[in-house]
Amino acid sequence: MKDSVWFTYKARIQAAERLSSNNFHSQALLVWYAFFSAALAIVTIRYPKIVGEDTDLFSAVLGVGLLVVSMFVTSQDFRGRAISMRSNYIALQLLYKSLAGNTPNLDQITRYNELLSSVENHSEMDDKQFRVFQNGLTTRMPSRYEKIEVHAYMALRATTLTLLYAAPFALVLLS
């Protein structure tokens, strides 16, 4: 059980970091796109066809899209979920430290089950990321496939974020 608590604790740390990162990037992207939308609205006063014949339509669709995305991001509650995950992994850490021997008592088993069900579960990728970056300090070594999967996930995430941040620049340069 001590091993299970430890892996859950470490994966939930990774999940809290992922949720915090999602919160930061979703908020930053919303501000970035809101700025772009407002700047476009101001510039179109002087240059009504700056991005082509349908600038007015594009601007309206961008504004509505931004509203919809902001409602979706708000509903995800990344910050609240990260805080809950952090509280949970701190409680798991305390439980882990209380497991002195190999035989847990009924209270410890009950506490572990309560902690498991008190917040959403971490993702499989959270567990894999933790294990890949532990540099051999784990009893569950990641397979070669899991290492490739984690690095591919991280590359895809970085590429997606880069494209999302760069998209307004691309639109301006292409118009």
175 residues of the chain, pLDDT tens digit each:
888 888 999 999 999 999 999 999 999 999 999 999 999 899 999 988 888 888 888 889 999 999 999 999 999 999 999 999 999 999 999 999 988 776 888 898 899 999 999 999 999 999 999 999 987 677 888 899 999 999 999 999 999 999 999 998 887 777 6
Look up the domain containing 124 and give its range: 2-174
**How far is Cα 159 from Cα 151, in angstroms, rounded to an integer?**
12
pLDDT at residue 169 in the model: 87
Q: How far is Cα 7 from Cα 92, in angstroms, rounded to an integer?
A: 10
- Residue 94's identity, in one-letter code, is L
**Cα–Cα separations (whole angstroms), residue 108 to 55, 91, 96, 104, 121:** 63, 12, 9, 6, 19
Q: Is 122 left (phi over 0), alpha (psi -120 to 50) or beta?
A: beta
pLDDT for 126 equals 95
For residue 1, the model assigns a pLDDT of 80
pLDDT score, position 175 = 67
pLDDT of residue 157: 97
For residue 8, which of 134, 133, 124, 108 has the smallest C-alpha distance?
Answer: 124
The pTM of the whole model exceeds 0.85: yes
How many structural domains comprise the chain?
Answer: 1
Computed on alpha carbons and rounded to an integer, the radius of gyration of the chain in Å comes to 22
The CA distance from 96 to 8, in Å, is: 10
Stated length of the chain: 175
Tokens of 127: 């567990």
